[in-house]
């Protein structure tokens, strides 16, 4: 058992013995199908805490020769597949954690040299007499072993992009690393000694202009993980089962950790956060102390033109179109707000709809982390807007209609750059921004079918909230009282069938002549 070659199956054994384990061995069926084919090279990138290392350890435990991993996979999905026995423990596995290797060295170039030396030394013990002290380049050493013995290797690199993230300005070290990767995975010789390659990290493969540094790799990313979508995080059914087993509230779990959506799987949850919530028995933000949180602060502080405005809109639940094609897959080549937003998608702080090309804040956990990060930047207008939203909510609960109108006036004035204020849709956008922090207490429903029409906005208290429900009707160029009258006449409160208790009827209007808002708030007791 070596540190880098044929390390064994302890990593996966640890995962299997954990209190909570969700079966993701279906991934192995996919990788078995591509072994030895032109599709054998896979880059599966995803954010921190999304199970990258667990998946790498699982693959290593399955393929590594010299061990019997059959008991570890007993009862799991892959054990029932025809390919299971064929490839189980059949290959030499080189398993590298680049983040760990970087800790041992001062520079990227030193890391590349150190890693090759360590792996080659272990290969000398496994294949005595094949390599000599002159063999210092790992691709050549593997080719030499293959020629002498016919051995073929599975190469797994975890945190493959750590050099680009931790040594982002070390161009020479990065070039040395890319040359090594090309030697391992590009060219006819590599096809002889690599039966399968799996690299995983946060970033997709580095691009130079429009060309990938390893263009023979199939990439599965947070932009579009394609056939590997169900292995990016936990699926809805997996989370439902955990909630049933551990008596957790599924709706709250979904609010906190759902929101990532792909073409083939519509609901994907942050796995680390779900596990922590189950173990702790409560919902919280488990991302704030990660390195990606620090990165979030750094990137949004760049404030490319329009970035703040987009963040304000997304805080309020809006989506924005992002051109993800210009991002160079590194952390230094930012040239536009689209590059920053694309980086945030890969970091998991934004989700991406590949069909509409829109980015959005996926869930409560990310929203909280995003808001905290913004508060720690110099974005004072945004942080002030968050504070104003809290005050506006309190004014509404206190039925202080004048203060509510004043608060909405302020939001309108401060966001004229992103709002063409000429109809009820624009008024709705302003109100949504003004009540941004309402998502802490409410589920906000727009255009809710109610009574004899559609209520503009309904604020339903969350399960554990003590705040009153609110029905908000908007009027452009008509009195605010007419909005409350419409709520009553069209019986909008009747749509809240399962709600009992105090209900606030809120009418908000905008006068085109004096460019001022007005507000009327009435209390209604629903039985």
| 485-501: pLDDT as tens digits | 998 888 888 778 778 88
Beta bridge partners of 358: 321, 353
The arithmetic mean of pLDDT across residues 305-334, rounded, is 80
pLDDT the model gives residue 270: 93
pLDDT the model gives residue 443: 83
User: Which class for 352: exposed (0-12), middle (13-18), buried (19 or more C-beta within 10 A)?
Assistant: buried
Going by pLDDT thresholds of 50, 70 and 90, the confidence category of residue 208 is: low
| 23-45: pLDDT as tens digits | 999 999 999 999 999 999 999 99
d(CA 76, CA 97): 26
Beta bridge partners of 42: 198, 218
Query: What residues contact residue 11 under an 8 Å CB cut-off, 6+ apart?
Result: 53, 54, 56, 57, 60, 61
518 SS3 class: strand
User: Which class for 217: exposed (0-12), middle (13-18), buried (19 or more C-beta within 10 A)?
Assistant: buried
d(CA 173, CA 169): 9
With residue 95 as reference, give the H or E element that holds it. Answer: strand 92-97
| 466-480: pLDDT as tens digits | 999 999 998 888 899
pTM of the model: 0.84
Among the listed residues 300, 342, 319, the one whose alpha carbon sits nearest the alpha carbon of residue 432: 319
pLDDT surpasses 90 at 118: yes
Length of the chain: 527
d(CA 500, CA 459): 14
Ramachandran area for residue 373 (φ above 0: left; ψ -120 to 50: alpha; else beta) = alpha
Q: What is the CA radius of gyration of the chain?
A: 27
| Residue 357 burial (CB count, 10 A) | 15
| Residue percentage of the chain with pLDDT more than 90 | 56
Going by pLDDT thresholds of 50, 70 and 90, the confidence category of residue 424 is: low
The answer to whether the beta carbons of residues 14 and 56 sit under 8 Å apart is no
Going by pLDDT thresholds of 50, 70 and 90, the confidence category of residue 418 is: very low
pLDDT the model gives residue 103: 87
Match 């008991």 to its residue by tokens: 71
- Greatest extent of the chain over all pairs of C-alpha atoms, in Å: 91
d(CA 196, CA 253): 37
d(CA 35, CA 58): 16
d(CA 206, CA 162): 12
Beta bridge partners of 525: 502
d(CA 361, CA 351): 6
Going by pLDDT thresholds of 50, 70 and 90, the confidence category of residue 288 is: low
Match 């968050």 to its residue by tokens: 386
For 96-156, the DSSP string reads: EEHHHHHHT-SSHHHHHHHHHHHHHHHHHHHSTTT--TT---HHHHHHHHHHHH---EEEE
The arithmetic mean of pLDDT across residues 45-56, rounded, is 92
Regarding predicted confidence, which is higher, 244 or 206?
Answer: 244
pLDDT surpasses 90 at 290: no
| pLDDT, averaged across the chain | 87
pLDDT surpasses 50 at 451: yes
502 token code pair: 């105090």
Regarding predicted confidence, which is higher, 526 or 103?
Answer: 103
The answer to whether the beta carbons of residues 138 and 101 sit under 8 Å apart is no
The arithmetic mean of pLDDT across residues 448-453, rounded, is 68
Q: Tell me which of 49-53, 70-74, 215-219, 451-455 is least confident.
A: 451-455
pLDDT surpasses 70 at 289: no
331 token code pair: 């952390």
Q: Tell me which of 323-332, 413-422, 491-500 is least confident.
A: 413-422
pLDDT surpasses 90 at 441: no
Domains in the chain: ranges and CATH: 10-220 (3.40.50), 231-280 (no CATH), 291-378 (no CATH), 386-526 (3.40.1350)
| Per-range mean pLDDT, top range of 350-354, 367-371, 459-463 | 350-354
For 425-448, the DSSP string reads: HHHHHHHHHHTGGGGGTEEEEEEE
Among the listed residues 206, 205, 182, the one whose alpha carbon sits nearest the alpha carbon of residue 194: 182
d(CA 12, CA 69): 10
d(CA 253, CA 258): 7
d(CA 469, CA 458): 8
Beta bridge partners of 94: 5, 155
Regarding predicted confidence, which is higher, 274 or 417?
Answer: 274
User: Which class for 132: exposed (0-12), middle (13-18), buried (19 or more C-beta within 10 A)?
Assistant: exposed
pLDDT the model gives residue 495: 78
In whole angstroms, what separates CA 42 from the centre of its chain?
19
The arithmetic mean of pLDDT across residues 372-388, rounded, is 69
| Residue 387 burial (CB count, 10 A) | 11
d(CA 435, CA 389): 5
| Per-range mean pLDDT, top range of 128-132, 441-445, 456-460, 476-480 | 128-132
Regarding predicted confidence, which is higher, 236 or 300?
Answer: 236
pLDDT surpasses 70 at 378: no
Regarding predicted confidence, which is higher, 11 or 372?
Answer: 11
pLDDT surpasses 50 at 196: yes
pLDDT the model gives residue 266: 93
Going by pLDDT thresholds of 50, 70 and 90, the confidence category of residue 318 is: confident
């Amino acid at each position: 058992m070596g540190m880098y070659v044929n390390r064994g199956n302890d990593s996966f054994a640890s995962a299997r013995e954990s209190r909570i384990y969700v079966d993701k061995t279906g991934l192995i069926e996919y990788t078995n199908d591509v072994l030895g084919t032109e599709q054998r090279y896979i880059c599966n990138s995803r954010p921190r805490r999304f199970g990258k290392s667990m998946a790498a350890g699982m693959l290593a435990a399955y393929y590594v020769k010299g061990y019997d991993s059959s008991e570890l996979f007993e009862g799991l999905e892959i054990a029932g597949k025809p390919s299971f026995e064929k490839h189980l423990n059949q290959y030499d596995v080189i398993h590298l954690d680049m983040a760990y290797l970087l800790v041992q060295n001062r520079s990227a170039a030193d890391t590349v040299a150190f890693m090759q030396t360590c792996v080659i030394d272990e290969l000398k013990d496994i294949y005595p007499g094949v390599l000599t002290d002159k063999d210092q380049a790992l691709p050549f050493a593997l080719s030499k072993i293959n020629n002498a013995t016919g051995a073929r290797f599975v190469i797994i690199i975890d945190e493959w992009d750590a050099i680009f993230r931790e040594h982002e300005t070390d161009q020479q070290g990065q070039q040395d690393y890319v040359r090594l990767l090309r030697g391992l995975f590009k060219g006819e010789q590599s096809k002889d000694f690599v039966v399968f390659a799996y690299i995983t990290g946060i970033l997709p493969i580095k691009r130079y202009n429009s060309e990938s540094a390893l263009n023979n790799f199939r990439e599965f990313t947070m932009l579009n993980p394609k056939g590997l979508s169900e292995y990016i995080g936990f699926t809805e059914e997996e989370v439902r089962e955990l909630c049933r087993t551990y008596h957790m509230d599924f709706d709250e779990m979904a609010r906190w950790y759902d929101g990532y959506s792909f073409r083939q799987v519509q609901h994907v949850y942050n796995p680390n956060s779900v596990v922590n919530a189950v173990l702790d028995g409560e919902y919280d933000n488990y991302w704030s102390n990660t390195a990606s949180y620090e990165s979030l602060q750094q990137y949004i502080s760049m404030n490319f033109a329009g970035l703040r405005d987009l963040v304000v809109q997304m805080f309020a639940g809006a989506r924005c179109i992002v051109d993800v094609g210009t991002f160079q897959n590194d952390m230094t080549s930012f040239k536009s707000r689209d590059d920053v937003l694309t980086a945030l998608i890969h970091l998991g702080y934004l989700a991406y709809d590949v069909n509409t090309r829109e980015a959005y804040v996926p869930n409560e956990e990310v929203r909280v982390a995003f808001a905290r990060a913004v508060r720690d930047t110099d974005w004072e207008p945004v942080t002030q807007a968050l504070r104003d939203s809290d005050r506006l909510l309190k004014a509404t609960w206190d039925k202080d209609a004048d203060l509510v109108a004043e608060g909405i006036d302020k939001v309108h004035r401060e966001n004229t750059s992103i709002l063409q204020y000429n109809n009820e849709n624009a008024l709705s956008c302003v109100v949504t921004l003004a009540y941004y922090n309402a998502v802490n207490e409410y589920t906000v429903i727009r255009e809710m079918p109610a009574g004899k029409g559609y209520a503009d906005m309904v604020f339903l208290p969350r399960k554990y909230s003590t705040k009153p429900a609110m029905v908000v009707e908007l009027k452009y160029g008509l009195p605010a009282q007419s909005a409350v009258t419409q709520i009553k006449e069209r019986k909008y409160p009747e749509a809240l069938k399962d709600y009992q208790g105090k209900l606030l009827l809120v009418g908000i209007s905008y006068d085109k002549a004096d460019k001022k808002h007005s507000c009327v708030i009435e209390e209604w007791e629903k039985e």
